[in-house]
Structure 1
Amino acid sequence: RTQQSKRQQQEVVKRPGGARGFKADPTEASELSYIDCGVGRLLDLPLHDRLSVLNCHCNRIEALAGLDRAPNLRHLDLSSNRISRISGLDCLASLRTLNLAGNRLAKVEGLAGLKSLVRINLSYNAIRDVTGFAEMRGPAYRLTCIELHGNQIRAVSQLTKSLRQCRNLRHLTLSLASADNPACRQRDYRRQLLAGLPQLDSLDQLDRQGDRAAVEVLADVPGLEEFLEFLGSSSAATDAGGGGNEDESKSRRLPTPKIDAAYKRFRSRRPAGDLDDDGVDDNHGADADERRSGEGDEAGKADGEKAYRERLEQLERRLEQLAEGGAASRAEQEEDNKQVEAKSARGQQKSTKHRQPQGDSATKKDDKGGSSGSGAATASATAGAVNLAVTGQPAAAQKRGESLTYGELLRELDLERERRWKSEAACRRLAEHAQLLQAQSREDAAVRAAAVDAAEKLKSTAADEREMRESAEARAAKAEADGAAAESARVEAERRVEEMRAGLERLRRAASGEERRRAQSAAEAEKRAARAEVEAATQRDQAERLGESLRQAEHLLAERERDFQRQLAGCYRMGSPELESLVAKEADRERRCAAQAIRRLEERLAEAGERYRALEDEFRLALRLQAQSEEQLKRQAAEATEEAAGLRELYQAARGREAEREKLLAELSQLAKEQKIKLETAAKTRQEEIKAQKARDQKQEEQLEDARRRLTDMESLRKENKRLTAQLAAQDSLIEGLRAEKRLWADELAQQGSALAQDRGRLESRVELLQSEVASLKRQLEQETDALRIKTKVAEDLLDTVRKLKDSLAEKDAAVKRVQEEGIERTRQLEEQLQLETESRRDAEDQVKALTERKDELKQQVEELTDRCQRAERNAAQLTSRWRDKSDQISRMEAQVEQLRSEFERREAELRAERDKSAAAATAATEQLRTADDAFRAQLDAQQTGHRRQVEQLERQLTKARSDADSRVAEVEEEMRQLLKDTEAQKQRLEAKVRQLTSAFNQVAQDLAESALR
């Protein structure tokens, strides 16, 4: 395995695109690295079934398609890509670590087929739904560590429900540094998660007591999966060596079930028995096996382990054969004893006496176990030899051969146990040495981390310098923009003056139009009054016609009564129920009709009063509008004065901005000085870190000299280390793990590069925010100009409202005409109703011929109707008097309108005078503005030339500082590369020393074995 790892080291090449592969053909490599190579699809990569590690960090991959070509993949890194959905991972049954950080995932799904997955990193995504973890329920899944910081998880209950069935989950990260989830801001979220997930050992890298917990999952190291068992045993060995625990020493024993079973059967049987020829053959076979095992030890490390296992299996088979042969020899011995029982009764008694203590010794040896060593085996062999000597020559020879075979087997078994104990001790020593190497690697990692921190600091200083340069450029651009804004403000002021002039002209035209509208409104009011008088006359005519119709109705009633009296002679008798009911019905109908007619007349009178009140409201509204128009003219004049004051304030604000520009230039010079000081401090810190690194290198060289001295003392221990091939393989696996750590460091450097890119994006976003603020200021200026335009449009809107009022007055006139037409229509309907009533009354007269007894009541009703008609006539007289009063009021209002017209003409003359004065003032103001503008332009040109010179000087200084910073960054990067090369060379030296140590261990082990054999 060491030779194979050397060949792999020699075959590692660097591709131009940044991908690392094996040999020239990546289809034969077990590890592929395509970090920041612009990969867009996994289908374009040369994946194959022997691939175990794939790193595609920082690419443009959008979908997980094509991974079915690498079914034996164990470590997959697809961080910093564009993946939006987890799919296509069901074919990766051997996958142990999965890194999908920095993608566009919104949901956890598609993990049901990953039963070997131990660690998953889903940080820095947009995950909201984690229900996909519920598919990984039960002990069949090995998921141990989940990282979910930097996402959008909000519900703690959903998280606990999804992760409750993950039995092997031990570490969960939802918040790390400044990256967290919205659920982490909830109250007692940590207590809820720890209570809902009892299998957790640590949450957010803190254990259940709140102490810092180191999350170390050995499955993260590529190539270390096959040696996790050995790492666990080595740690147990160190614990056992320190404490001497019997259970742990038993767990370290090599399992040999067949040997233990055969050895137990051998000790449980009786000691008497004969040997057959198989014992000698087995002895020779044992010698051959020893020779073969020795040749296997010389063949190599892999062959030695195989020979060691074969030798153990052969020993088990031989013990089983001996146990079976011993049973057969007992049966033959019993038959021989029966034949010679008469001749050698005394000898038989002696042999039985000697068998009894041997059986006791066998039982004692069984009670002691397999740790008695070769002494117990020798005692049992001598006891067997004494027993065989008594029975005769052939039995004695067979017994002697059997005892020798048993003794050799037991000695060989003890030797194997001793070798196993020595190998365990060597394992412990190797584990301690591996721990030392791990400590040294941790120190190297600390040195590497310090170098990375220094690089990050230098990069941050460079970024700060770049940011300051950009801010200086932004401020210079802002100063230029302010100058342009001042120029535009001056132009805007001139434009406003022109607009004010145009507004005054419009107001002049509006005043003349208002006069014409007032004249028209007065004429319309006169027309309305005439129409109201005509309507009153029509109402009087209608009332007279109604009175005439009532008189005609009374005359008809009188004639009908006479007809009724003539006809009642042959009709119903007075007081009959039929006559009374008919009279009652007719009387009720007449009452209802009369009440309806009176109600209609009252409604007409109320409508006429309402129309009169509406006319009064319209006159009041016209007067109010006239007052409002005068007030608006006054307000517009005040607003013109305020705008002139605002222009003066804008001029003062422009001067204030110029002062602020001078302050900004002073601040820029101060920032440049501070930046120089920061660069000097960064150079000093870099020199101090270089000195500290040199001191660490000297310390490591002293440790290497000490290791060389120890190697000279251990050169005599070479031969025994050949049998420790498995431990050496574990050592090689640790070295491969260190190489994997190196690759992980490279990945971390790449992640830091991506973090720097993110910082650059944040700075760019900040610049965009500043640009948006400038745009907002421009929009505010535009809003102010729009407000001025709105003010100018207010006057136009007022003119529109006056026009609308005229239109509304015309509409009201049309409405009055419609009301008059409706009145005429209603009178016509009343006449039709009267005709209908007369017809119905005729019908009723035909029916009520027998109602003579109720004639008096009908007369009383007629009298009441006459009274109501008289009241209606009185009401009509009152209405006429009211109309006369209204006409008097209209005449008074006309006089008031004439008075208001005269006042308006007087005010208009005053306003014209004020307008002439304001025009003269405006011309004077424009002359002053021109003079001020000329002076301001001259001053602005001088300041702009000075600003340009200062900006050019600052740009030259900034370019020089940027070139210096870039050169320093390049120097630091070169130093970092040299530092990494030195650490790589130091690792190679350490690996060479480890190889020397292993060879020394081999020699020491061989010497120990030879000394033990002697």
Structure 2
Amino acid sequence: RTQQSKRQQQEVVKRPGGARGFKADPTEASELSYIDCGVGRLLDLPLHDRLSVLNCHCNRIEALAGLDRAPNLRHLDLSSNRISRISDLDCLASLRTLNLAGNRLAKVEGLAGLKSLVRINLSYNAIRDVAGFAEMRGPAYRLTCIELHGNQIRAVSQLTKSLRQCRNLRHLTLSLASADNPACRQRDYRRQLLAGLPQLDSLDQLDRQGDRAAVEVLADVPGLEEFLEFLGSSSAATDAGGGGNEDESKSRRLPTPKIDAAYKRFRSRRPAGELDDDGVDDNHGADADERRSGEGDEAGKADGEKAYRERLEQLERRLEQLAEGGAAPRAEQEEDNKQLEAKSARGQQKSTKHRQPQGDSATKKDDKGGSSGSGAATASATAGAVNLAVTGQPAAAQKRGESLTYGELLRELDLERERRWKSEAACRRLAEHAQLLQAQSREDAAVRAAAVDAAEKLKSTAADEREMRESAEARAAKAEADGAAAESARVEAERRVEEMRAGLERLRRAASGEERRRAQSAAEAEKRAARAEVEAATQRDQAERLGESLRQAEHLLAERERDFQHQLAGCYRLGSPELESLVAKEADRERRCAAQAIRRLEERLAEAGERYRALEDEFRLALRLQAQSEEQLKRQAAEATEEAAGLRELYQAARGREAEREKLLAELSQLAKEQKIKLETAAKTRQEEIKAQKARDQKQEEQLEDARRRLTDMESLRKENKRLTAQLAAQDSLIEGLRAEKRLWADELAQQGSALAQDRGRLESRVELLQSEVASLKRQLEQETDALRIKTKVAEDLLDTVRKLKDSLAEKDAAVKRVQEEGIERTRQLEEQLQLETESRRDAEDQVKALTERKDELKQQVEELTDRCQRAERNAAQLTSRWRDKSDQISRMEAQVEQLRSEFERREAELRAERDKSAAAATAATEQLRTADDAFRAQLDAQQTGHRRQVEQLERQLAKARSDADSRVAEVEEEMRQLLKDTEAQKQRLEAKVRQLTSAFNQVAQDLAESALR
């Protein structure tokens, strides 16, 4: 369709005469047009049940709600709106055309109720899913044409599956000009679609042979409903060949059973001897009548119009009146019949030539042949009809009746034939003009669409390039900001490394202090061990002195016993009760004292052993804790070494990436500058090309307009020539062919019964005027013939001029096509360059993104290292606290050793006191024993022997306890020496690791300083 101009609300209505006009009341209009009126909802429009056409192109409609108020709608145009979903169309059962192009549709749906839909236009949307067409399956749906170009359909298989059940689908458009679908770029998509949809006649406006196919259907154009009958008859006449006029005359015959019966009565009343040369014509007419009567019977059952019946009854009454009249003698009419046959044949040929539709030369030749044949058959049938006369009537009366009837019929038929010819010519001109307008509109729309598409593509390309340039600048700025952030992060990392180095220095100082404290504690332990050794030697000397004093005491005791024995000589006798009781008492007391002394010594030894074992366990626990702490320090030192190595590698990698990023940023900046220069050059070149193309298009449009004006003049001259020729032929054959064409005119009169009843009066007056106009027309014929010759010459000159213009237009079209192809090629090259630059920029963006991710990783690693340093500091603090605890434990152990030493001295003093007490008691006993009897000596010797054994046992136990104490002291000393050696070795290893860490951090700091200087 042609593009309509912007206008305000217009309501188009149909008047009774068939013309269209505007009416102020929209509730009575059959057509409504709201083009670019800012309509937002269909509910705001005055829709009603008499509305058949609704055009709401270029508005702001978002939904289809509200169409249920116009159930008889046949044509609906909602293109260039904001509709996103197809719905609420089930109420439009009579809808034939639906235009939803240029909306926001993504899916085809909601078409199940549109069984009368013939054409649907869904182009220039965002459709991906066409499964909604599967609902229109079966022969009940009349969908013939689908337009889907300019969408996003990707799968050919889905499209084939959805449209396979559309039985009446004939035309499918997926690609038109530069608007297509992604599926159209697939290989052999046309072959797949044509194979999967066998009902298709054309795909993308190309038939199955690849030729251009016409898709326009005049029945779907709003406003042509009243002209479809004439358009169909003209097209049928154009497509028919040879004997098409006979078939057309048969198909146009109306049911006339009474006329056929009257005609049979005429034939039955005709004498048999009258059948001579025209008998073949009578048989032919009879066969035709039989065929016509059969067809009339079949069609008469379906035709019930009152006007036709009344008209046919009038014609039957006239034929009965003619039948009741007498038949003229055959001798009078033979000559007239011969003349009529010859004249009617010539007139039929001319009139048939006049009624033939305008077509190509081959069609005209065929139509002429068919017309001549049908004219001959009609002439013979008419001659046979004329020969049917009733005998017994006067010739004059018959001639008068025939003249009256024939005059009326001639006037009616002439007027009706002229009206029919004018209507057919008008319909043909209208159809040709409509086709021409459609072709021009399609060409103009294609040119405008191509220009708009090219402009849109150029605009989109420029906008994309501008966006890409802005995005590149933004990314460059972002990269610079990221570089600054990375630099600040690097400075922060250096600061943290310095802090870590200071922390390590503090840790080293703390470790050296801890080592000094350990050395001091070890020296103090050695001193305490030396003091313990001295004390043990002192105790050994004291034990030796005690043994010596014990031996002296025994010697003294022996001497005193001897003295006592001497003294006993003058004391009580052995065996005396007094002596025995005294000895028994003393012995019991001594036994008790010795047992108590032995128990006390055993308890003291057991307590000393338990304390020694507890002290030994505490020493072992302290050594185990020391070993664990040393192992933990070793592991931490190893982890710190590995972290330092990893940090060094990461720093080297970061330096390399920083250099690559700076190089990449420089390349990107250079590339952006070059791209900017190229874009400016391309924009200037494109503007110059557009200006040149506009100038060429304007010049060509002017030349085309001039050519169109000349073609219009040429066409008007040609039509005037044809009209004059047809009028002359019609006037020449008007009177001569009246009698021969009686039957044919009668058939035509039956076809146009209602029109004949209305125009009867005008036909009578027209017949009278025609007789007076014949002479004037003959005089005008010569003048018009001369003018026609002159116009023909002018037309030939115009044809040559038009031919030359067409050649020049073809050359200019070829030049325009070449320029368009060059522009397309340049556009494609620019698009390729843009694509390459886009890919390079995308790679640069990927690199920048990778650098950013690497920077984030480095930040994360620095944070992890910071966390590790903090954990190392916490571990060092924990170690320091542990060393303090161990120092406290060692001090507690020293206090316990001091306490044990004081306890030992106290016990030694107690033993000495007890020894003194024992010596005093022994002295007292010696003094008492000196007074004992000699008899008591034997018992005393035995007691002394037992006491001596006990003392020896005590000495052995004491010596064993001393040796055990010495061995335990030696073991403790050995363990302490080994502990001191291990501590010294650990200290040396820790110092070596600290030196390595210090050198590594010095190297890292040196590298950072060098990179900062760079």
TM-score (norm 2): 0.41
- The match for 2:390 is 390
- Higher alpha-carbon deviation: 35-44 or 603-612: 603-612
1:180-219 residue pairs with structure 2 within 5 A? 194-195=194-195, 197-202=197-202
State the 1:455 CA deviation: 2.1
- Higher alpha-carbon deviation: 326-335 or 604-613: 604-613
**Unmatched segments (≥5 aa) in structure 1:** none
Paired with 2:840 and 2:246, the residues of 1 have a C-alpha distance of: 132
- String of CA shifts for 1:519-565, please: whole Å, max 9, x gaps: 99999999999999999999999999999999999999999999999
Q: Say if 1:323 and 1:117 are closer, same or farther in 2 by CA, change over 3 A.
A: farther
- Higher alpha-carbon deviation: 241-250 or 154-163: 241-250
Secondary structure in 1 matching 2:240: helix
- String of CA shifts for 1:297-331, please: whole Å, max 9, x gaps: 99999999999999999989977986798999999
Secondary structure in 1 matching 2:359: helix
- Higher alpha-carbon deviation: 278-287 or 181-190: 278-287
State the 1:47 CA deviation: 3.7
Q: Say if 1:507 and 1:335 are closer, same or farther in 2 by CA, change over 3 A.
A: same
Q: Say if 1:165 and 1:276 are closer, same or farther in 2 by CA, change over 3 A.
A: same
State the 1:743 CA deviation: 51
Q: Say if 1:708 and 1:917 are closer, same or farther in 2 by CA, change over 3 A.
A: farther
State the 1:580 CA deviation: 76
State the 1:464 CA deviation: 3.9
Q: Say if 1:99 and 1:873 are closer, same or farther in 2 by CA, change over 3 A.
A: closer
Q: Say if 1:274 and 1:140 are closer, same or farther in 2 by CA, change over 3 A.
A: farther
Q: Say if 1:316 and 1:88 are closer, same or farther in 2 by CA, change over 3 A.
A: farther
Q: Say if 1:229 and 1:606 are closer, same or farther in 2 by CA, change over 3 A.
A: farther
- Higher alpha-carbon deviation: 273-282 or 720-729: 273-282
- Higher alpha-carbon deviation: 616-625 or 925-934: 925-934
Q: Say if 1:296 and 1:197 are closer, same or farther in 2 by CA, change over 3 A.
A: closer
Does the Cα contact within 8 Å between 1:51 and 1:73 map onto a contact in 2? yes
- The match for 1:1013 is 1013
Does the Cα contact within 8 Å between 2:323 and 2:390 map onto a contact in 1? no
State the 1:730 CA deviation: 25
User: Are residues 1:984 and 2:984 paired?
Assistant: yes
Paired with 1:39 and 1:813, the residues of 2 have a C-alpha distance of: 41
- Higher alpha-carbon deviation: 67-76 or 414-423: 414-423
Q: Say if 1:431 and 1:526 are closer, same or farther in 2 by CA, change over 3 A.
A: farther
Does the Cα contact within 8 Å between 1:41 and 1:63 map onto a contact in 2? yes
- String of CA shifts for 1:618-677, please: whole Å, max 9, x gaps: 999999999998677556445545656776777778877887787677667766765676
Does the Cα contact within 8 Å between 2:144 and 2:169 map onto a contact in 1? yes
- Higher alpha-carbon deviation: 723-732 or 364-373: 723-732
Q: Say if 1:555 and 1:150 are closer, same or farther in 2 by CA, change over 3 A.
A: farther
**Unmatched segments (≥5 aa) in structure 2:** none
Q: Say if 1:789 and 1:209 are closer, same or farther in 2 by CA, change over 3 A.
A: closer
- Higher alpha-carbon deviation: 526-535 or 372-381: 526-535
- String of CA shifts for 1:550-585, please: whole Å, max 9, x gaps: 999999999999999999999999999999999999
Secondary structure in 1 matching 2:370: coil
Does the Cα contact within 8 Å between 1:715 and 1:1003 map onto a contact in 2? no
Q: Say if 1:792 and 1:745 are closer, same or farther in 2 by CA, change over 3 A.
A: closer
State the 1:452 CA deviation: 1.9
- String of CA shifts for 1:185-238, please: whole Å, max 9, x gaps: 999987776555431335577755678877656677655666566666666666
Does the Cα contact within 8 Å between 2:102 and 2:124 map onto a contact in 1? yes
CA root-mean-square deviation: 50.7
State the 1:92 CA deviation: 1.4
Does the Cα contact within 8 Å between 1:96 and 1:116 map onto a contact in 2? yes
Paired with 1:799 and 1:556, the residues of 2 have a C-alpha distance of: 178
- The match for 2:658 is 658
State the 1:141 CA deviation: 1.7
Paired with 1:780 and 1:925, the residues of 2 have a C-alpha distance of: 199
Does the Cα contact within 8 Å between 2:270 and 2:388 map onto a contact in 1? no
Does the Cα contact within 8 Å between 2:219 and 2:225 map onto a contact in 1? yes
State the 1:860 CA deviation: 83
Does the Cα contact within 8 Å between 1:99 and 1:120 map onto a contact in 2? yes
Paired with 1:635 and 1:397, the residues of 2 have a C-alpha distance of: 148
Does the Cα contact within 8 Å between 2:237 and 2:357 map onto a contact in 1? no
- The match for 2:285 is 285
How many residues are treated as equivalent by the alignment? 1014
- String of CA shifts for 1:473-515, please: whole Å, max 9, x gaps: 3134314422442244136415743884798699999999999
Q: Say if 1:211 and 1:779 are closer, same or farther in 2 by CA, change over 3 A.
A: same
Q: Say if 1:533 and 1:248 are closer, same or farther in 2 by CA, change over 3 A.
A: farther
Paired with 1:465 and 1:92, the residues of 2 have a C-alpha distance of: 47
State the 1:458 CA deviation: 4.0
User: Are residues 1:622 and 2:622 paired?
Assistant: yes
- Higher alpha-carbon deviation: 601-610 or 410-419: 601-610
Paired with 1:791 and 1:841, the residues of 2 have a C-alpha distance of: 70
Paired with 1:885 and 1:297, the residues of 2 have a C-alpha distance of: 131
Q: Say if 1:696 and 1:513 are closer, same or farther in 2 by CA, change over 3 A.
A: same
Paired with 1:53 and 1:535, the residues of 2 have a C-alpha distance of: 130
- Higher alpha-carbon deviation: 991-1000 or 545-554: 991-1000
Q: Say if 1:105 and 1:38 are closer, same or farther in 2 by CA, change over 3 A.
A: same
Does the Cα contact within 8 Å between 1:87 and 1:109 map onto a contact in 2? yes
Does the Cα contact within 8 Å between 1:262 and 1:320 map onto a contact in 2? yes
Secondary structure in 1 matching 2:87: coil
Does the Cα contact within 8 Å between 1:48 and 1:70 map onto a contact in 2? yes
Does the Cα contact within 8 Å between 2:117 and 2:142 map onto a contact in 1? yes
Secondary structure in 2 matching 1:21: strand
- The match for 2:10 is 10
State the 1:88 CA deviation: 1.7
Q: Say if 1:626 and 1:797 are closer, same or farther in 2 by CA, change over 3 A.
A: farther
Q: Say if 1:732 and 1:839 are closer, same or farther in 2 by CA, change over 3 A.
A: closer
State the 1:444 CA deviation: 3.0
Q: Say if 1:402 and 1:795 are closer, same or farther in 2 by CA, change over 3 A.
A: closer
Q: Say if 1:865 and 1:426 are closer, same or farther in 2 by CA, change over 3 A.
A: closer
- Higher alpha-carbon deviation: 987-996 or 305-314: 987-996
State the 1:91 CA deviation: 1.7
Does the Cα contact within 8 Å between 1:373 and 1:414 map onto a contact in 2? no
- Higher alpha-carbon deviation: 617-626 or 733-742: 733-742
Q: Say if 1:580 and 1:877 are closer, same or farther in 2 by CA, change over 3 A.
A: farther
Paired with 1:801 and 1:350, the residues of 2 have a C-alpha distance of: 33
Does the Cα contact within 8 Å between 1:42 and 1:61 map onto a contact in 2? yes
Q: Say if 1:182 and 1:947 are closer, same or farther in 2 by CA, change over 3 A.
A: farther
Paired with 1:719 and 1:992, the residues of 2 have a C-alpha distance of: 118
Secondary structure in 2 matching 1:98: strand
- Higher alpha-carbon deviation: 987-996 or 125-134: 987-996
User: Are residues 1:772 and 2:769 paired?
Assistant: no
State the 1:467 CA deviation: 1.5
State the 1:66 CA deviation: 1.0
Secondary structure in 2 matching 1:90: coil
Does the Cα contact within 8 Å between 2:564 and 2:929 map onto a contact in 1? no
- String of CA shifts for 1:441-485, please: whole Å, max 9, x gaps: 444334424532442244135314522441243134314422442
Q: Say if 1:605 and 1:785 are closer, same or farther in 2 by CA, change over 3 A.
A: farther
Paired with 1:606 and 1:804, the residues of 2 have a C-alpha distance of: 143
Does the Cα contact within 8 Å between 1:78 and 1:101 map onto a contact in 2? yes
State the 1:89 CA deviation: 0.9
Does the Cα contact within 8 Å between 2:141 and 2:168 map onto a contact in 1? yes
Paired with 1:870 and 1:168, the residues of 2 have a C-alpha distance of: 81
Paired with 2:419 and 2:897, the residues of 1 have a C-alpha distance of: 134
State the 1:37 CA deviation: 7.8
Secondary structure in 1 matching 2:127: coil
Paired with 1:574 and 1:78, the residues of 2 have a C-alpha distance of: 156
Q: Say if 1:440 and 1:482 are closer, same or farther in 2 by CA, change over 3 A.
A: same
Q: Say if 1:675 and 1:518 are closer, same or farther in 2 by CA, change over 3 A.
A: closer
- String of CA shifts for 1:836-884, please: whole Å, max 9, x gaps: 9999999999999999999999999999999999999999999999999
Does the Cα contact within 8 Å between 1:56 and 1:79 map onto a contact in 2? yes
Does the Cα contact within 8 Å between 1:12 and 1:21 map onto a contact in 2? yes
Does the Cα contact within 8 Å between 1:95 and 1:114 map onto a contact in 2? yes
- Higher alpha-carbon deviation: 118-127 or 540-549: 540-549
- Higher alpha-carbon deviation: 678-687 or 766-775: 766-775
**Which protein is bigger by CA-based radius of gyration?**
2
State the 1:397 CA deviation: 1.8
- Higher alpha-carbon deviation: 489-498 or 951-960: 951-960
State the 1:607 CA deviation: 35
- The match for 1:790 is 790
Q: Say if 1:714 and 1:674 are closer, same or farther in 2 by CA, change over 3 A.
A: same
